[in-house]
Amino acid sequence: MLKILLPMTALLLTTTICKPKQLWPTTSINTFGIALLSLQWFKPSQELTMSFSNYYTSIDYISAPLLTLSCWLTPLMILASQNHLIMEPISRKRTFIFITTLLQISLVLAFSATELIMFFIMFETTLIPTLAIITRWGNQVERLNAGTYFLFYTLIGSLPLLIALLSLQNQIGTLSTYMIQLNQPTMLNTWAHTTWWFALLTAFMIKMPLYGLHLWLPKAHVEAPIAGSMILAAVLLKLGGYGIIRIMPTLNPLSKTLSYPFMVLALWGVIMTGSICLRQTDLKSLIAYSSVSHMGLVIAATLTQTQWAYTGAITLMIAHGLTSSMLFCLANTNYERTHSRTLLLARNMQLLYPLMGLWWLLTSLANMAIPPTINLMGELTIIASLFNWSNITILATGLGTIITATYTLYMLSTTQWGGTPSFIKMMPPTHTREHLLMILHILPMTLLMMKPELIWNTFY
């Protein structure tokens, strides 16, 4: 763990003392080095044992894929933001990279924490850098409002989680995830048990987010800069799923009376948010609502508490992280040229940017979960486990899959085909940096297709 944390901490110092002309190359090379070092974390996933760094941090088959995804996205965020920050003074560029590195450090500590209270602290710490990125570097005047939504939704949801963790500490005397398994908490009062579980799950459901608690997400995505959208969609939403997967197997079984409402909301949200995507005019808002739809499947899978469902949930979280991040990057390339997120004002882009049209096609196909993408592996596993849990879930998941394919094709056809608007005749060309960014998203998806057991063998 120190092999990753020490270079990250050193990067904070490097950012502050680096020469202005060398700032972007130096930070990009350092973060890519950290991302390549993080690939060694896939090794414990083959051994089904913990790899302890110290008493407070460890890596196992659940956290390794999410840790690697967090490290991989940091250089991509820096690459994607260069054009957005080109007119900023050097001090603000340093501040941006500093905040991005702080966010990465807090994410790595959150995913590797073995103490639940440390996980909670890091879970909350990620709010501060993300809020700074949204409110300071956001594009629109509503960014302060979006930041307020994002902060207060998560803070209000996290307070019950803190109370639940403190009550657990008082009851069994430890919050170590490994000690809890040896000393199961016993609650004789059914209502107390249900209330305690509800408090525990609320924070994670808001972070995912569950349909009905999702109103902060489209606002945050639409107002955030490209780096904020990438890290929100790819990693921060996964903190909720990781928290559920990490805590649920270690504690008493979740009562059916509590799991049914969450399950119904999650599956209903898959259909409803997919339907909302069909009538969106804002490209970033469409991608944000599609994230809610995909996370609904992950929530439903984690609540069934089967190994098959957990495996599908981890797989879909990694697949969605790469796919949605790439979709936001593509939306940003359109925005930087048309200065509008409206779908109808960026038609027939394939004629002007044929290579970018290829990236749009590949990402849309991955978002639709066509074979042999890892998106399909995750969705099929989740759908099969939900069908095994209850046959009637096939109606919601099947309809959700059809709607997902429909709105993805709608997004692709609207942006890439049709009549070219008159103001789009003269457009600046795409940059090598942008194509490199797309390749670095496609590459891990392709490699995982060829060797899916890196994340597929999570629980076997």
- Burial string for 114-132 (b: 16+ CB within 10 Å, else e) reads bbbebbbebbbbbbebbbb
Q: Please, which residues have CB within 8 angstroms of residue 170's CB and are 6 or more apart in sequence?
A: none
HEC string of 203-247 equals HHHHHCCCCCCCCHHHHHHHHCCHHHHHHHHHHHHHHHHHHHHHH
Bridge partners for 57 per DSSP: 113
Report d(CA 339, CA 265) in Å as an integer.
Answer: 36
DSSP H or E run through 115: none
Give the residue carrying structure tokens 């890596």. Answer: 59
Give the residue carrying structure tokens 């609904």. Answer: 296
- Burial string for 371-384 (b: 16+ CB within 10 Å, else e) reads eebbbbbbbbbbbe
What local confidence, expressed as pLDDT, does residue 184 receive? 64
What local confidence, expressed as pLDDT, does residue 98 receive? 93
Bridge partners for 342 per DSSP: 282
Report d(CA 374, CA 329) in Å as an integer.
Answer: 20
Bridge partners for 59 per DSSP: 51
The single-letter DSSP state of residue 249 is: G
Q: Among 8, 10, 18, 7, which residue's Cα sits nearest to residue 91?
A: 18
What local confidence, expressed as pLDDT, does residue 294 receive? 93
Q: Among 31, 84, 74, 28, which residue's Cα sits nearest to residue 331?
A: 84
Report d(CA 114, CA 282) in Å as an integer.
Answer: 40
The single-letter DSSP state of residue 88 is: S
* Residue 55 in tokens: 């008493």
- Per DSSP, the residues of 15-61 read HHHS-GGGHHHHHHHHHHHHHHHGGGGGGGGGTTS-EESSSSBEE-T
* Residue 381 in tokens: 């596993």
Q: Please state the φ and ψ torsions of residue 423, each to the nearest 5 degrees.
A: -80, 0
Amino acid identity at 69: L
Q: Please, which residues have CB within 8 angstroms of residue 85's CB and are 6 or more apart in sequence?
A: 92, 93, 96, 137
What local confidence, expressed as pLDDT, does residue 185 receive? 58
What local confidence, expressed as pLDDT, does residue 454 receive? 83
Helix (H, G, I), strand (E, B), or coil: what is residue 313? helix
Q: Among 446, 451, 458, 300, which residue's Cα sits nearest to residue 383?
A: 300
Q: Among 156, 153, 343, which residue's Cα sits nearest to residue 237?
A: 153
Amino acid identity at 83: N
pLDDT tens-digit profile, the chain (460 residues): 778 888 899 999 988 888 888 889 999 999 999 999 998 887 754 444 566 566 778 888 888 899 999 999 999 999 998 888 888 889 999 999 999 999 999 999 999 988 889 999 998 999 999 999 999 888 777 888 888 888 888 888 888 889 888 888 888 888 887 777 777 656 556 677 778 888 888 889 998 888 888 888 888 888 889 988 999 888 888 999 999 888 887 776 776 777 888 899 999 999 999 999 999 888 989 999 999 999 999 999 999 888 889 999 999 999 999 999 999 999 999 888 887 888 877 777 888 888 988 999 999 999 998 988 999 999 999 999 999 988 999 999 999 999 999 999 999 998 888 777 766 667 788 888 889 999 999 999 999 999 888 887 655 4
Q: Please, which residues have CB within 8 angstroms of residue 301's CB and are 6 or more apart in sequence?
A: 309, 310, 312, 313, 316, 381, 382, 385, 386
Instruction: Give, in order, the Cα–Cα distances in Å from 119 to each of 16, 111, 125, 175, 177.
Output: 28, 7, 10, 10, 10
What local confidence, expressed as pLDDT, does residue 330 receive? 92
* Residue 157 in tokens: 């949801």
The single-letter DSSP state of residue 418 is: S
* Residue 122 in tokens: 């890091």
Bridge partners for 58 per DSSP: 52
